[in-house]
Amino acid sequence: MIADTPALEVLPRDLAPYRQGNVGIDYVHRFESGKPGPHVLVNALTHGNEFCGMTAATHLLDSGVRPNSGTLTISFANVAAYESFDASRPFDSRQLVHNLNRIWSAEWLDGPEHSPELERAREMRSVVAAADHILDIHSTSQAVQPFWVYPQFGRNGDAALAIGRPAVHLVMPQGLGSGTPLIQHGRHGQADHGGVALVAECGQHFLKATSQLAIEVALDFIAHFGLIDRPLAAAGSPQRRFGLLKTCMVTTPEFRFVRPLIGFETFAEGELIATDGDTEIRALCHDCTVLMPTRQAIVGREGVYLAQPIN
């Protein structure tokens, strides 16, 4: 199931110059315009080996992007995992203990367990809660087309469609099904909240094109809420939307796909997609689409997401 090590077009850079933030939390930088407007958070490195977020965040800081109105916060989340990167095992620095993008519930944040990720989430809890709108920048293990991920609230879909890129959307009617992601922390996971919270999956982790897209998406997101002046991007590809049907977790070391998958393959209703020990994972609908099939099956982690095209 493990593919060959990919080309490493982007490598980590030293983030020590960005450690000293200005809100009392390491790697968190906030810029207030002094004028009315929303508070936008651009977050990077929720997963330590997803370098496009690092590239986008450092670009915003290095190029002096500052809000003309409202407030802009730029953060680097799981720097501890990022600093563990080993080029011979580039996927291992995703996390140290916990998946930082599954623990944003009160159950985890107020619970008794400890790990580098839990401590970091507890540190950043006030940062996430303070933002009106959130862009959480991610990437994928396989080189598939970029896509948005967001809860099925009209405010999220409207913003993603207006921004226009990526042109593919994964919509979560009932949440992720495997924990609480950062974009659903607190009020951001509530239907009556007015703020937008999106994940942008910008492409394969280590490709230059992925980092370049992350920069553009970050600037587009900030401009969408009026914090900076930026021309609208030219009309791109037609928008495609998928609704998440089920998150299939790996329950045994025998988890196997019926054929190699990278994502966006489709299966007929009832067709076998994978086996997990004695359990069969079959397509739930016509044109059942797989997203983010695991590169390496690890018990307790996601194996594959099953989705269906939606209008």
Distance CA 138, CA 152 (A): 19
Q: Where are the CATH 3.40.630.10 domain residues in the chain?
A: 16-224
Confidence of residue 236 (pLDDT cuts 50, 70, 90): low
**Phi, psi for 79 (deg, rounded to 5):** -65, -30
pLDDT of residue 155: 97
Confidence of residue 311 (pLDDT cuts 50, 70, 90): confident
Rounded mean pLDDT, 233-247: 85
Q: Take residue 186 and report the two structure tokens written for it.
A: 């607190």
DSSP 115: -
Q: Take residue 177 and report the two structure tokens written for it.
A: 């099904």
pLDDT of residue 237: 74
| Residue-wise pLDDT tens digits, 261-292 | 999 999 999 999 999 999 999 999 999 999 99
Q: Percent of the chain scored above 70 by pLDDT?
A: 97
| Residue-wise pLDDT tens digits, 70-94 | 999 999 999 999 999 999 999 999 9
Give whole-number Cα distances, 287 to 2, 120, 140, 221, in Å: 26, 39, 22, 31
Residue with tokens 């203990």: 97
**Phi, psi for 159 (deg, rounded to 5):** -70, -45
| Residue-wise pLDDT tens digits, 158-181 | 999 999 999 999 999 988 889 999
Q: How many alpha carbons fall within 13 Å on the CB side of residue 220?
A: 20
Distance CA 200, CA 28 (A): 20
Among 94-98, 231-235, 259-263, 265-269, the least confident range: 231-235
For residue 117, the SS3 value is: helix
CATH no., domain 16-224: 3.40.630.10
pLDDT of residue 3: 52
Q: Take residue 294 and report the two structure tokens written for it.
A: 């695991």
CATH class of the domain defined by 243-310 = mainly beta
Q: Where are the CATH 2.40.50.630 domain residues in the chain?
A: 243-310
Confidence of residue 57 (pLDDT cuts 50, 70, 90): very high
Mean pLDDT estimate for the chain: 96
